[in-house]
Structure formats: C-alpha cells, structure tokens
Structure 1
Amino acid sequence: MLNNKVSKAVRLAIAFGAASTAAFSSSSFAAEEGAEQVERIQVTGSRIKRTDMETTVPITVIGRSDIVQMGALNVADVLNQTPVAIAGSDQSNSSFSTSGVGLNTTSLRNLGESRTLVLVNGRRFVSGVSPSSGYAVDLNAIPASMIERIEILKSASSAIYGTDAVAGVVNIITRDNVEGVEFNAQTGISAESDREKYTVNVTAGNSWNTGNVTVAIGYDDDKGLKSSDRDFSRFDEAILLDDDGNEYVDKVYSSFPPQGRVGSYNGDGTPYTGLAGGEAFNRASFRQLVTPLERKYAAFNIKQDINDDVHYFAEVNWNSSKTYDSTIEPTPFSTDDVFLPSRGGVGGISMSNPMVPELLRQNLLADGLTMDDNIPALVRRMVEFGARSTDLERDTIRIATGIDWEINDAWALNTYVSWGKTDQRQDSGGQVNIERAAQAFDVIENADGELQCANDLAVLQGCVPLNLFGAGSVSQEAVDYVKVPAKTAGQSEQFIFSASLVGELPIELPGGTIGVALGAEHRLESGFYNPGDLAQTGASSTNKSLPTNGSYTSDDFYVETILPVLDNLEVDLAARYSDHEIVGGETTWNAGIQYSPIDTLKLRASAATAIRTPNIADLFGGRGETFATVTDPCSGVTASDTGNVAQNCLSIPEVAARVAATGSFQLTQIEAQSTGGFVGGNEEVKSETADTYSLGVVWQVTDEFSLTVDYYDISVEDAISTTSRTTVLNRCFDVSSSEFDPSCSGNALRDKNGALVEVNSGTGNENNIETSGIDIELAYKLDTDVGTFGANLLWNHLRQYDITGIESGETIEYAGQVYTPDNRANLNLNYGFEDFNFSWRMRYWDRSVDSVDGGNFNYTDFTPLVEYNEFPSVVYHDISGTYSFSDSTDVTLTIRNLFDKQPPVANQSSSSGGTGINTVSEAYDVTGQYFQLSFTTKF
C-alpha cells in the first residue's frame, strides 16, 4: 500500500523522532537501517495493519529523544510546547482553582481538553479530572520514562476511536524494547535558585523468544513557586491611566483588610485610608505561581505468546500525584455572608452589640444610623485563620489486558478489557463555619463584665466571641471554634470491553487486497464528587456546592476498510455507530484518499464527522452557587411597553405592582447585584457534532530533506458550555404569553418586590466553533565526516478561530488572541558526533492580543485596554547537550529559556491572565532560565 520513498521517509522520521528533536546515537542509526525492512504495522488513526507509515490524515510524531533531550519530567512538558497543542490545565493556570489544582492536561487546536482524545497504545485512558468539572486525561498519570513516542493525529477520528476525537488524537506509545535495567536521576534549579526539581526512576525490561516485559517505577518532586518569588507576580496589578491618558501598570490591593472595614472606617472606627495609610492587603503574597507537585508512579507492560497464533498482553499503570503547600490568600469575609438574604438570612450585627468599638459606633451614628440599626457590612481578611490551602492527592490506576488471535494468515481477532479509576482526596484549610460565626457574633456581657456568646448551648460547644473589629482582634479560641476543615472526595471510573476482527478480503484490486476491520466496544463511565458537608449545606464561607453522581454507558459498532485502488492510489473509509445511554445514537464517518503521482510525492485529502457526547460533569454536575451578574429582562419595563418580553413581565403580579406604583420596573443597585443562583449539569444536553476536512502533500525533496504541508478545517456545531443565566431568562421571557412560565421551569425566583433573588442554569449546546489553518513540517538530515546535522521545523498558521453564539447569532473572531495566535512554530537544530549530541530548540509564539472584543479594561475609567492589549512575539531558546561516557552511561545538561525571557503583563485588567500569576502560562514561561542535569546508566 503506497510503499514508496515517501513512506520510507516517514518511517525514518519516526525512528529519529524527527518531528521534533533527534539525538543522533548508534541506536537511532540501527533503527534507520531496520526501517528498510517492510512489515505490517499498526499506525495511529487505523485499526488495520499496513506497510505504509503515512495515512490519509496528518500525524506528527514526538520521539523519545525529545523527552530525553528536554529533561521532561512530565509528558505535558513536551506535548504542550508543540504548535498544535496548548495546555488545558497546568501547574500555574490551575493554581487558584480547588478541584483542578495540579492537573496537567492538553488541548489540540485549543478546542478544549474534552475534545482531545488521549490514548495509550491505541486504547482509552481513564479521566483524571474531577467528575464535577470535566473530563480529560491527567498527563501526570503517564510516566515519561515509559514513553517510546507520541503520535498526534491532527484530524477528527470519531469513526475509528469514538467520542471526544474532535480536534484529534494523542496516542502515547510505551516502550517494549528495554533490555536490562536503566537508572535515571535528574535535578533542576532556576537561575533564581528556586523551583527545585528532583526525579529518580528505574526502568527495566527483558525479552525472550515468546515475549517481553517492561517495568518502570519512579518518584518526582517539583517544588513549585510562590507568586512572591518573581517580580512580575509579586503584587496584584492592574492597568491605570495617567493624567495624559496613557496606560501604566500599578499595584492593586484588596479592600478586605486584616483590620476589618465598615464603609470608610477601619474596624476600630478610625478612618480607612487604604494604600495611602498602608492598610491595604496584598493578596499575591499568599498565592502560587507554580503549584508544587509530587508524583510516585509504577508501570508494567507484558506481552506473551501463548502459542504461535494466540498472543496475550497486559498493561498496568499506577500513579499518585500530590499537591502540597498550595495556598491562596486568607478568606475574604463579610458579615453579609452570615446573614445572606438569598439563603433566608435576616438581621446582622446590631449597633448595640458590645463588640462594636465605641469610636465606630459614634461615627456611624453621626452618619445617620440609629441604635436600632445593624451596622453596614463589615468586611475583613481572616488572616488569623491562615491562608486558604489545598492539599490534594489523586491516585490513578489503570489495567488493560487482552488476547490477539491470529485466526489464519488473513484474519486476526483483537480483544481487550480495560478498567481505570482516579480517586481524588482534598483537604482545604482557612475556611469559616458561618453557622458558628452567627453564634459568635451574638454576644452579651456576663455578670463579670466579660463578653461571651449569648447562646448557652453554643458556649458548651466552645463558642467564644468572634471579634472582627480591628487588626489582631480575633482570639485563637475564636479561630478554633469557627474554623472549619473542608474535606472533599471524588472518583472517576471507566470500564471498556472491545473486540475487533481485522483482516483482508479475498478481493484483489490493482493495488493489492482490501483491508478490513470491524468491531464492537462497550464503555462505562461513572463518577462522583462530594464537597464538604458544610459546603453542601451552605454553612461554609465558600459558595454552596451540591454533590455530583452519575454514570452512563456507550455501545459502539464500527467498520473500516482500506481500498488499494492502484499501486499509487488508496482510499480509506470508516464508519461508527455509537449508542449513548443518555443522548441516544449517533453515526460518524471518515473518508480519505492518498495518491502518489511519483515515488517522492504524496497527495492526500480527508473528510470526517465527529462527536463529543456529554460527560459526567455536563450531565450530572452538582449545582454550585454563583453570584455572577445577571440581567433581568424586565428591568426598565413600563406599562405601555409591548412585545412578548414586556407583556410576560407585566403578567407577574409583583412586577406589575411595582410598575403601577413607580411607572417602571427599576431595580436598585443592591437588587441588580444580589441575584444568587446555581449552575450545574443538565441531563437534557445533546452531543456536539463536527465536520472536519484536510488537504495535504508529503514531498521527499531529496534523501535528506522532506516537506509536509496540510490544510485543516474543523466546524463544531452545538458545542457544549455553561448556559449564562441571562440567556436562561431571555429564552424564558421571549415567548408568547401562552407558553410563558414565570418561574422559567423552576429556574427563576423573585421576592415580594419582584426582584430576582435566584436564577439557575446548567450546561447546554450554546455555540458553534469554526477553525482552520495550515501545518508545515520540514525535516533535514546531513551526514558528514565531522558529524550528523539535523533540522526540523513545525509551524502552524491559524487562519480562523470563530465562536458563534447560537442564541445571539453573534460571531467573535478569536484568531490573533493570545490563546489562538496567528502563528506558532518550533525549530529544532541538532548535531551529533561520536559520543556527543547537541540540540538547540526554538519555540515561537506570534504577537497577539489579550482580547479581540474589548473584554478587558483599565481601572481608571474602565474602558478597554489599548497598549496593554498587545502582546509581543516571543521566542524561547532551549539548549541541551548529551555526552555518552560509554554505551551504557550518559549525562545530559539542559538549559531552558536560555536568555531568561520574562513573560508579558496580563494582570487583573486583562481577560486572559491567570489569577495570581499576572501572565498567560499557557503561552509564556513563568519560571525563567532553568538548568537541569540528567544522569542515565544501564546495566
């Protein structure tokens, strides 16, 4: 099947890891010589074994030499630096989250980690993400020491692999050729003498006449960074305007100070002067720039021939990833949290409460309050409770085992069963029990003139007054009574049974026999996530959060064929029917063609449909409380207004009464900003569908130089996302009066004055996404008397990345924004001579903007940014050198970010900057110049 010089070139590229860096060692040359031998192999994107390494869809290969030369401890370190992938979650952009902290995931084409299917040896891997928040493989769970290569299928492939393969497929191929014991130790440190990394791993293997085995165990420790460790993240920052209207960066402090604040007064009654008086609070001093991550892992692969026709395999992965000492600033607390109206709270801290300082009381009386009033909201940074901390541990285990039966020379039956589970345990500190806080605010003077809690039962339980009026005013006894540990637990579980019959039909075409694969797959996904008890009841200082629990099955049936129409013309076809328990049946298909007019040139084209069925979070995600701004469609309505929205608003008695009394339905600022509600999963959500196309050419220009160019186009319809609460209201009210439900199917609740107090929402099919671009790969290798030279270029040019809201019809063109720059490229230069190998890697991120639609603003007049909306182009340089002392021992020195390039500013004014890091970690390096030393020996 098209076994020509182009195919040989691709085989050599894989042998060298030529899609990225290549280390020119004796073993690589041996692989090159072996590539001349033609045998049938399985290539990512097909279940049919073939003689041709190249397929109708583009594949980029990252070789093991890349991982070694980069000193990568984690698969994500390599994968997310390729021009076709971007981090979904990393140790910086997840540092401010709770359930997602410490994750390392990937997103092809920036279409989202849930639209990127990650396989290990062609088989699905269990999700490592909390079932309440999404679905993705945590790359922490796959040890780099076990990886032979990574194949990135840059096209939709749902017909071959099933749901989620919308943007493409990442197939991680593990090693099965290790002989003896390989010991590796690495250490790293930044030029700032921090972010220490350590790893020790042992990989061992053995082969015999009828099989082989590979085992790996290891330990990694990445110490991470605090935001205070770097100048660019040491303080919260925002963009302001000077007197001439020029933008500049300045520090921003929290208005929740440690001494407490009531309006314009400190908790003790003195005037609050903020930054001018040194009374503001720097949140960044507690935040994490890079989350610390500790990993322990073990992996085991075995292949064994039972007889000449039956072959057994098994794969076992175990990983334990732990984040530790990950903190954010102490809880920002308001007395309104205790008396929240949306939760039925009434009352407050009375002006006559004996904890209220006399100076504060007199100032508030002078401002017009009376002794019968409650003091306005007291806001305070709860520093006595310590930083909010997240200690999270994920344990992932995955077992895959199966039998391959060669029925005869033409047919084989491949079967396997896999089971995987990720357990997540989390301890969070620094939170406040608001039920106990209410008791600790209710204070009286006892007979001895001392303050005590008014409720006798609360006193028996340890209640002491919680005095927030002043710096250091909270006693340790009050902390012990009110502080609450928050423990959460979650689990993702996956079970798969798959069987496929692969072979050749007794039909001969001019190019050869017809290859066929057909099979069936049963998949069960389940998961749960339980927030802490107090979070579920709303008794914690965090937003109320309900548990997640759900499962679903999918039964898939598929067929694939390769039609060798001519010696130089091949057609690939595939189709799959997926019967999802919740959303029903879907059919997807792939069609591709490749043609070689001459031995050195190959033309290819493909078209495919793909789906992403909703996951546990989409369907069953427990609802979490939100107070984000929501727009009431009834706002401003008058009695004379016409149209569906106005008439439906006026049909609500409370709204009509307010209009009759005041002339229009005008909300106060407090009413407009106090609409609570919940957001979560939705069992009515449908599958996403996608249409994808690609056109490409592979040209072996000379024996040393090859060129690959591919155009791609991906259109996603009914993309799943969280439906905004404003959209929920607009859809509810913009209907005829006969169809109108004032409660919006139970999702909207109003008070006696007609103001919204609760609006709920969930996931829905909200957007259409269009993206297209061009991938270019160049590979060059030159052998000389003074060594071997190599160069590889990977370049992605993005033509389009548009998101259109189904509800509004509005299209936003995101191409050129920082997550979707017009151009990304990697250039890798290599040199090898005898026992020495050197590589120079350059990573290019094009100039871009923070926001294409005015989604950022300065803190002076709140208009969109201009100067600081622009990010310059950035080139990062990494170098590494390996010296082999013998056939069994080598040392590698790697310097990343050689010239210590500092990241562009993306702070609180920006729309893309990560909280607490003041830049975009998906695009820019946050650590700075970094040195890493690796020692490997084999015996």
Structure 2
Amino acid sequence: MNRKSLSRHPLSFALATALVLGVSAPAFAQDTAGSTQAAPQAEKATNLDTVTVTGSRIGRDVFNSVSPVQVITREETTLAGFQSTAGVLQSTAITAGSAQINNAYGGYVTNGGPGANTVGLRGLGPTRTLILLNGRRVSPAGSRGSVGATDLNVLPNSIVDRVEVLKDGASSVYGSDAVAGVINIITKKKIDGVTFEARQTATDGGGGEQRSYAIVAGKTGATGHISGSYEYYNRDGLSLNDRDWTRCNTDYRRPATGGAWGSSDTIDPLTGQPKCYPITGTGSNGVTINTIGTQSLTGVAAAGARGTSFNRWRPNSAVTTGLVGFEGVGGGQTTNSNIRDTFDPRTLNRSLISGAETHTGYLQGGLDLGVLGDAEAYFELLGSRRESEQTGYRQLSLDYLRGSPLIPANLASSNFGGGVGVRAFIGYGNDKSSQKVDFFKGTAGLRGHVSSTWDYDFSLSHARSDADYTMESFLTDRLNKSLNVVADGAGGFRCVDTSDGCVAAPRLTSAVIGGQLPRAWTDYVFVPVTGNTLYTETTANISFSGPLFSLPHGDVRGAVGAEWRRAKIDDTPSIHSINNNLYNLTSSTPTRGTDTVKEVFGELEFPILSGVTAAEELTFNVSGRWTDYDSYGSDQTYKLGGLWTPVSWVSFRASYGTSYRAPALFEQFLGATSGFLSNQIDPCNNWGNDPGTPKARNCASEGLAPDFQSTQSVSVIQAGGAESGLKAETSKNFTAGIVLQPEFSSAVGDISLAVDYFNIEVSNGVSRAGGANILDLCYNSPDFRAGGGFCRLVDARNPLNGALTVRDSYVNLATDKVRGLDFTLRYTRDLGPGSLRATAQVTRFLEQSNKLFQDDELIDYNGMLNTPDMSGTLDVVYSWNKWKFRYGMEWVNAMQSYDYYELDAATSVYKFDVPSYFLHSLSTEYKGDTWSVTAGVRNLRNEEPPMISSGAYNRVGNAPLYSGYDYVGRTYFVNLTKSF
C-alpha cells in the first residue's frame, strides 16, 4: 500500500457551516438593555425594535445583519430530541458534518482531557471558535495540560432561550479565537414562576441512556428581576459489547483479485472465525496477550503457524517436545504474527461512549438603581460539576530477569535479551480512568445611559476550572521491586526489598500468562494516580454605544470599548508521571503559565441610503481592534461589511476582515511530555543506499556505518513554544451572500432563500511539526547541525547506542484554507387547520486544504473520509392548535480517500470509501396551559455507521472514528414540563 501520512489531526479539518436565513423566521436577539425578547414577525424590517445580534455591538433596526447569523431556539432543540446544549452545538445543523471531540473519544489523548465536549466551526478546530454566554466569553475548562477550549458540559440547558451562531471571522468585535465564528448561548430573562422539567431517553440496544431533571424559577418586579436554574444530568456509558457492530473489528479487506470486503481477513485457527483485534482497534498485528517471548527456539508449531523455530509462544500443556508446555505462535520466517492471541472478552468492556454525571446551577438578576444614567446592576453566576469515567483494557509486558527463581525450569535457559530471560505478554484486564471537573464563572456589571442616546455597559467576570483526573497505572519501581525476589522458605517468594509493603511477583505459570494474577500483587503494583488542572480567567470589559451624527438616511451609530483579560494555567500531573514512574506510559511535567491582554475596539455603521429607488437599504459597517498580549506583543484586526437591499425581496451582503488567535496557554507553556517513535524512522538507517545526498553526508559525519540500523526507539519530547517566540495565528475572512424573499399569495406560501460564500485562510498556524518531520528536515539539510533550523530540535545522538531525541515544541507553521457555500431554504404556509414550516440547510465545501510548512503544497482533504464535502439538514414542522409534529433528517455526503492514497477503487484491497449517511427522526409535542409533553425517536431506521478497512484511520469496530455518525442507535425520548 502506498500510504501517505496525514500531517494534521483529522478533527482539525472536517469543515462545517449551515448559515441561517435569519430573515425567514422570527428573529431573536438581545436588546441594548440586556433583556431578551422575541421580535415580532413583520413584513418590513422597519417594524423591528432596535436589537443587538451576535456579530456586532451596535443596536440596529434592520431585519438582516451584515453577517449571516443562525438562530436555534430551545423549543426547536427539544422537539428535535437533544438532551443537552452540548448535543445541540455538536449537531449536524451547526457543525455541518465537521468532526468534533465528543464522548466517543474517552480512550484518546485530546485537548481538554477525556469526557470533554468541544465544538469547532468550519472544521478549523475548537480553539478557533469563540463560545459566549449572553455575549461574554466562556473560559476553557477540562483536565490535563492541554486545556484550551470551552467544555460544553459547563453550559446550562433548561434556562437557555436560544443559540445564535455567527459563522464568520469576528476578532475585531470579540477578540482572539473568533476565527471560524462565534457561538452565543443566550438565556431566558425576566422569568415569573417555577417550571419543572424531566427528560429521559431509551435505546434499542441498551446502554447510552440519558436522563435529566431541572427546575427553572424566577421573579420579576417593578425595579428588578432574578431567575435561575438547577439541573441534574446523567448519561450511562456504552461499551463495545453493547452493539453488534463493535464486538469484532477486523482488517475488513479483500484479496487483490477482488471479492467481498472482509473475505481476506485472517481466520483464527482456534475458532475458525475472522480474527478480532479489539485491543488496539486498528486491525492486524494487534497487541498480543496470553503469550511469552524468548530467543528463537526450536519447538512445536501452533495451529496455523509454520516452521520449527519461534520466539513467541502460547501455553499448551499437551506439548511434550521442544519447548515443553508451549506451542510456537510467532517469530518464524513464515509465521504470520496474527496467529498470536489478541482477543480477551474483557476487551469488549471498553467504553464506546463515556458515562457522565453533571450538576449545573445558574443564577442571574438585575436591579434598577435609578442613578448613574438610570443604571441597572446585574449579575450572573454559573457553576457546574462533571464526573465522567471510562473503561479501558491493559496489556502487561512483564519482564522476568535471567536467573530469576520465578522462571520455571523449562524456561530457565531462555534469553529474551537485555538481561531479560522471559517476557510475558499478559492480558491484565480492565482499567478505569475518571475526571471530576468543577467549573465556576461569576459576572457582575452595570449598564445604563450616558446621555439620552448613548449607553454604557461595564462588566467584571472571573472563571475557574478545577479538575482532578485519575487513571490506573503500573508503577515501574514497584514492578522492579516485586520481581527481585528470593525464596521465603515456605514454598513461596518474598521481595528482597520489603519496604512499601512490597508483594512478590507471581511465579511464571500458564495461569499467570493467561491473566490470572494474585490480587495482593496487583493491588501493590497497579494503583490509581491523580493529577490536577487549575485554569482561571479574569475579564474586565467596558463599552459605549449610540448615534454619532445624522446622515440624510439615518444616524451613524458607533460603539467603542476596552477589555482586559488575564488567564492562568497550572497543571500538576501525578508525581509518578513527573518522575517517569508510569510503566510503559509517557511521563509529563507540570504546565504552568500566565498571559495578559489589553484591547481597545471600535465599530461604526453608516446608513448610506434607505427607502429610495434601487436602495431600500444600503448600510456599511466597519470595526477594528488593537490588541496587546504580554506573550507576543501587539496586533490589529479589522472588518468591513455592507448590506444592500435594492428591492424589498432581495438583499446582498458581504464582508472582509482579519482575525487572529492568540496561542493557548498550553501551546505556550505545556510541560515536557515524553513519547516514543519506532526506530524505523531514523533517517540514517541504511544511509549508504543514498550516496552523495545531504542525508548521506550528515549521517557519515556522525560516524555511522553505511549499513547502520537503529535498534533504539526515537524519544520525542513535546513542549510548549513560549521560549521559541510563539506568535498569534492570523487569518483573512471573506463572505458574500444573497437573500431572496419573494412575495407570493397566501395560497403559495412564503419562500426564502439565502446563499452565502465563505473563504477563510489561516496563516502562521500554531502546530507541532512532528518528530518524523523534524528528523527528515534536519538530516536532509545541507547545513545540518551547523545551520540551526530544525536541527536545533534534535539532540546529539547518544554516544553509547546512537539513540535520537527530538524536541517537538509548538511553533508557527501551518496554513489552513476553507472555501464553500451555505444554502438555506425555508418555506412556510397555512395548510389545512394548521401551518407548515420546512427548512433545509446544505453546506457545500469547495476546498478544505492544509499544509504544514511554508514550502509545502496545499493538500485538499475535501471529500475524504471524516471530511465531507457536503452535508445538510431538513426540518419539517406542522403546527395545529396545541400540537406540533416534526420530521427531521441529517445527511453527510459520501466520502472516499482512494485518490489521496493513490489507490484504484476498483482493485484496492482497502475499503476507503463510505456511502452517504442519513439519520431520520420523528417527534410530536402537545402544549397544555401549564404543561407540555414532547416525545419522539431519533435515528428512526437504527442506522449503523459504515465500515472501512484498517490501515490509515482510527476506527470504532470497523467504522471510522467520526462524530458525524451515530454510535448509539435508535433512541426514544420524552420531555415533560410543568409550570406554576
């Protein structure tokens, strides 16, 4: 297979957008006094009150904003069956098929740690999408050192009124991170009374059920208001054993001569069934268990093995010749390593979906002071606790040293190498990891009138995320102590060093090799280890807005302000991780750092024409921001936009601007984290095959022989890039669109169409070059180590064994570019005794490209696996009296990666394509005077994810690891509310 390496994370380039037609439904927005109200439906924009919508700080009286904004109400999400704000934000309706970090990533190393849920627009990643709550930033939360994005788990659910999504760069308005867009979660205001809510889901296959219970209460008086909510949410975990399609992942390939997919999969000689590889989830040559390693010895071949010489063995008491008690399963020249054991039923206990429990409280209020410009003092308090957990599976490679009394007589002469007599590959069993994340955000502010026309708003907020993260691990020092034993005189063994309550390792037996380990010993060597992550952010913001002067067709309005933010991260891993004492796991050091920013911003809107021939409205908007970070200095961003409505039924809008993303604290200050790459990536392996090249000269200069072969893994130390002068990412954003609202008779109904083109290019993207890339660039450099460059990231070789160490820090490297079209079509009309509303949204990407280095060519991933070029949603609602009936459909287009890997789809032995994927849902709602009930089903057809071959993509079962697919299956839901 001609396999190319993907130079970017699959989650960083699956593009998303489905911009709303804000003109085709009731417009929701936040008024300049901070209250929330539904703007009345109207045929003319001039019938709307002045409101402030996401994407601008200026109150406006136009029905269309300069930039397209998508609005999703809480009522719509309830009818669609979403159980949380996180579920809404990660849905196809908002992400348009882009891959997101969700609860299926519990077994992977992700920013924010296991259990975190994030969202990124346009496929540009969560750190390039800004999350707001009532127009104010929601700071990052999560566990481990790489905390850099908002964890959606901290957001309230039951008190949310609507979500506004701006899929346009807006750093000039909101500052850093608003590169791909802005998501603003807006809560209900001025609530009177008490509402109880209960939600429950059930799945066809069991597992993954969700339930939540909430209370929302408030009181509004003549001079003030207060309201809040408390909610409890619980999600059951879902294991690999809970679904048929995850119980046996295979290579899922076919012979070169053609045939059915899976027909060339290895058949397990012991079962006669296709070989399952659930430990690694990647396919053949999975991690072996129930096996020992020795030097090459003559023995009896296991079923399916060939030859007479082996270095991997499986216990078999029937073998009485050769290596007595063992049969050969690997190491011979003609023996396929797939003969080895890789399957243990306990591997199916691994988490497919993480279990979680959250408690969320939210309180808000305001009091009219009657002074300071008829000011209102307001506050918001948000607190949450998330407890999540994952189940994994561990293999234990246990090294019995030569001469150890724990080695039986028939293996006493074994010499595995490096002083090891026998290495036992043991299926240890399941392990647990868990996270407890406490999040708090408090805001206090004052808003009022500077004059009869100008308003002010001052706020001060502080956020804190405090997370404990726990995992189970073997401790290297305890394993070593337990293996250093002597006879205890009673037929057993004791540790030579008995400190710390050392328990002797078990004697090497078939039972031990099979995973039957003494409880006292495992309790001693396998222990929970805990780290802590503290992230804080403090923000002060003041802004002023109002009319500046009058033009013939309206007032020029403006907004100015300033903001100060300070963020701090303090991640302290377990002391065992710091001391490199986690057996066969990476080590990590603390991540600690702070950054402060000062900003000044301004915005102007010019009503050039209004109510004249060929210009029902012509408005221009300009905004700018000056930023000064302690970490890298100052920067400026700007945005220009315009809206032209030549006649009442058509509008044109366009904007161009720059945005930026300051490096996240973890990208600047990540503590050194160790990892390893295969010795096969050493550039000097067999350098004599490339005579006369810079690589050959460089390898020779280190005294390496032409046939040099590295026998040592390459150490890779990942770290933050503050010391190397890490700068901010910059981007250019262009959008242009047309909105059509033709007027038809009531017999035809109302039809609205919006089409928007977008083009975003990110430069100086913050990324790590990768250990393999750094080595390649260093050893192929004519200047080699004398010239600095990437060789400055490669330590001198170890003089004893020639081992390499690479330091892979965050640097400004990458370029990302996305282009595409958003289509939104909405149709409404009276039908029979009720009314019909249908909305279709489609995103068509024209380009989703990336390059890591400046001299590289852009690689377009558009349409490849996990990166759909098209996606869409359909929402049809019929309302009649107190009833609503809904049909919903979510669609992700077919994808393939044959072209990228230079394969012929007709003859390829690898299946690297998936068909279009559709999810259907049905629901109904009944609203009484003080109560309501909503019930329905999601994934009506119980659609399973499609399957691909192993070899290039992470998989779940044989399905791609991709958030656009439903892993849970058909789900029934019911939602009950009662108000008093």
In the alignment, what sits opposite 2:85? 75
In the alignment, what sits opposite 1:878? 921
Most deviating of 679-688 and 87-96 = 87-96
In the alignment, what sits opposite 2:754? 708
**8 Å contact kept, 2:682–2:714:** no
Shift of 1:466: 4.1
What do the CA deviations read for 1:679-714 (whole angstroms, capped 9, x no partner)?
A: 121113221111110110111123622111100001
**Structure 1: how far apart are the matches of 2:364 and 2:224?**
11
Shift of 1:912: 4.5
State which of 654, 669, 682 in structure 1 corresponds to 2:721: 682
| 3-state secondary structure, aligned to 2:253 | strand
State which of 664, 682, 698 in structure 2 corresponds to 1:632: 682
1:62 equivalent in alignment to 2:62: no
In the alignment, what sits opposite 1:477? 520
What do the CA deviations read for 1:876-915 (whole angstroms, capped 9, x no partner)?
A: 111110112x21111110200011111112464341535x
In the alignment, what sits opposite 1:5? none
Structure 1 residues 32 and 77: CA distance shift in structure 2, 3 A: farther
Structure 1: give runs of 5+ residues left out of the alignment: 1-7, 18-26, 336-347
In the alignment, what sits opposite 1:616? 665
Structure 1 residues 856 and 555: CA distance shift in structure 2, 3 A: farther
Structure 1 residues 746 and 137: CA distance shift in structure 2, 3 A: closer
**Structure 2: how far apart are the matches of 1:810 and 1:875?**
34
**Structure 1: how far apart are the matches of 2:741 and 2:140?**
39
Most deviating of 595-604 and 475-484 = 475-484
**8 Å contact kept, 1:93–1:921:** no
In the alignment, what sits opposite 1:341? none
**8 Å contact kept, 2:819–2:845:** yes
What do the CA deviations read for 1:324-352 (whole angstroms, capped 9, x no partner)?
A: 3x2011x22224xxxxxxxxxxxx63332
In the alignment, what sits opposite 1:489? 532
Shift of 1:794: 1.0
**Structure 2: how far apart are the matches of 1:726 and 1:583?**
28
What do the CA deviations read for 1:533-567 (whole angstroms, capped 9, x no partner)?
A: 11111111221111211110111111110011111
**Structure 1: how far apart are the matches of 2:341 and 2:675?**
32
1:516 equivalent in alignment to 2:558: yes
Shift of 1:323: 0.9
State which of 622, 628, 635 in structure 2 corresponds to 1:573: 622
| 3-state secondary structure, aligned to 2:104 | coil
| 3-state secondary structure, aligned to 1:136 | coil
Structure 1 residues 468 and 604: CA distance shift in structure 2, 3 A: farther
CA RMSD of aligned residues (A): 3.0
The residue identity in structure 1 corresponding to 2:326 is: T
**Structure 2: how far apart are the matches of 1:148 and 1:865?**
51
What do the CA deviations read for 1:93-147 (whole angstroms, capped 9, x no partner)?
A: 3344486221121110111001111111111011123362241111111122111
Most deviating of 523-532 and 30-39 = 30-39
Shift of 1:216: 0.6
Most deviating of 203-212 and 518-527 = 203-212
Mapping of 1:445-456 within 5 angstroms? Answer: 445-455=487-497
In the alignment, what sits opposite 1:543? 586
**8 Å contact kept, 1:239–1:909:** no
Shift of 1:39: 2.1
The residue identity in structure 1 corresponding to 2:249 is: D
1:142 equivalent in alignment to 2:146: no
In the alignment, what sits opposite 2:864? 817
State which of 796, 811, 823 in structure 2 corresponds to 1:776: 823
**Structure 1: how far apart are the matches of 2:976 and 2:903?**
47
Most deviating of 305-314 and 8-17 = 8-17
1:736 equivalent in alignment to 2:755: no
State which of 469, 486, 495 in structure 2 corresponds to 1:444: 486
Mapping of 1:250-649 within 5 angstroms? Answer: 250-253=274-277, 256=287, 259-262=290-293, 263-266=311-314, 270-273=326-329, 280-281=343-344, 284-307=347-370, 309-324=374-389, 326-329=390-393, 331-335=394-398, 349-361=400-412, 364=414, 374-375=420-421, 377-383=423-429, 387-429=430-472, 431-455=473-497, 457-458=498-499, 461-467=501-507, 469-472=509-512, 474-506=517-549, 508-541=550-583, 542-567=585-610, 568-629=617-678, 631-638=681-688, 641-642=691-692, 644-649=694-699
**Structure 1: how far apart are the matches of 2:419 and 2:58?**
78
1:118 equivalent in alignment to 2:131: yes
**Structure 2: how far apart are the matches of 1:208 and 1:842?**
43
Structure 1 residues 736 and 195: CA distance shift in structure 2, 3 A: closer
**Structure 2: how far apart are the matches of 1:119 and 1:871?**
35
**Structure 1: how far apart are the matches of 2:195 and 2:41?**
19
In the alignment, what sits opposite 2:4? none
**Structure 2: how far apart are the matches of 1:779 and 1:709?**
12
| 3-state secondary structure, aligned to 2:421 | coil
Percent sequence identity over aligned pairs: 24
What do the CA deviations read for 1:502-540 (whole angstroms, capped 9, x no partner)?
A: 12113x223211111111110111112121111111111
**8 Å contact kept, 1:781–1:791:** yes
What do the CA deviations read for 1:234-260 (whole angstroms, capped 9, x no partner)?
A: 133323334745441654335655534
| 3-state secondary structure, aligned to 2:205 | coil
What do the CA deviations read for 1:293-335 (whole angstroms, capped 9, x no partner)?
A: 11111111112221162112211111111113x2011x22224
| 3-state secondary structure, aligned to 1:750 | coil
**8 Å contact kept, 2:26–2:39:** no
**8 Å contact kept, 1:256–1:380:** no
Shift of 1:476: 1.9
The residue identity in structure 2 corresponding to 1:462 is: C
What do the CA deviations read for 1:801-822 (whole angstroms, capped 9, x no partner)?
A: 0112215513221100233212
| 3-state secondary structure, aligned to 1:145 | coil
Structure 1 residues 865 and 738: CA distance shift in structure 2, 3 A: closer
Shift of 1:475: 1.7
Structure 1 residues 701 and 741: CA distance shift in structure 2, 3 A: closer
**8 Å contact kept, 2:794–2:804:** no
| 3-state secondary structure, aligned to 1:391 | strand
| 3-state secondary structure, aligned to 2:142 | coil
The residue identity in structure 2 corresponding to 1:119 is: L
The residue identity in structure 1 corresponding to 2:623 is: A
What do the CA deviations read for 1:130-181 (whole angstroms, capped 9, x no partner)?
A: 3622411111111221111111101000000001111111111111143211
Structure 1 residues 259 and 187: CA distance shift in structure 2, 3 A: same
Structure 1 residues 907 and 481: CA distance shift in structure 2, 3 A: farther
Structure 1 residues 226 and 448: CA distance shift in structure 2, 3 A: closer
| 3-state secondary structure, aligned to 1:54 | coil
Structure 1 residues 319 and 373: CA distance shift in structure 2, 3 A: closer
Using structure 1 for the length normalisation, give the TM-score: 0.88
In the alignment, what sits opposite 1:938? 979
**8 Å contact kept, 1:570–1:593:** yes
**Structure 1: how far apart are the matches of 2:865 and 2:916?**
10
Structure 1 residues 373 and 557: CA distance shift in structure 2, 3 A: closer
| 3-state secondary structure, aligned to 1:748 | coil
Structure 1 residues 131 and 211: CA distance shift in structure 2, 3 A: farther
**8 Å contact kept, 1:906–1:920:** no
**Structure 2: how far apart are the matches of 1:31 and 1:640?**
73
Structure 2: give runs of 5+ residues left out of the alignment: 1-19, 30-36, 266-273, 280-285, 294-310, 317-324, 330-336, 611-616, 745-749
Structure 1 residues 106 and 741: CA distance shift in structure 2, 3 A: closer
In the alignment, what sits opposite 1:23? none
Structure 1 residues 642 and 785: CA distance shift in structure 2, 3 A: closer
In the alignment, what sits opposite 1:342? none
| 3-state secondary structure, aligned to 1:109 | helix
Most deviating of 255-264 and 285-294 = 255-264
The residue identity in structure 1 corresponding to 2:408 is: P
In the alignment, what sits opposite 2:936? 894
Aligned positions, number: 880
Shift of 1:580: 1.2
The residue identity in structure 2 corresponding to 1:314 is: F
Shift of 1:606: 0.5
The residue identity in structure 1 corresponding to 2:103 is: Q
Structure 1 residues 737 and 177: CA distance shift in structure 2, 3 A: closer
In the alignment, what sits opposite 1:207? 220
| 3-state secondary structure, aligned to 1:779 | strand
**8 Å contact kept, 2:434–2:469:** yes
Using structure 2 for the length normalisation, give the TM-score: 0.85
**8 Å contact kept, 1:84–1:796:** no
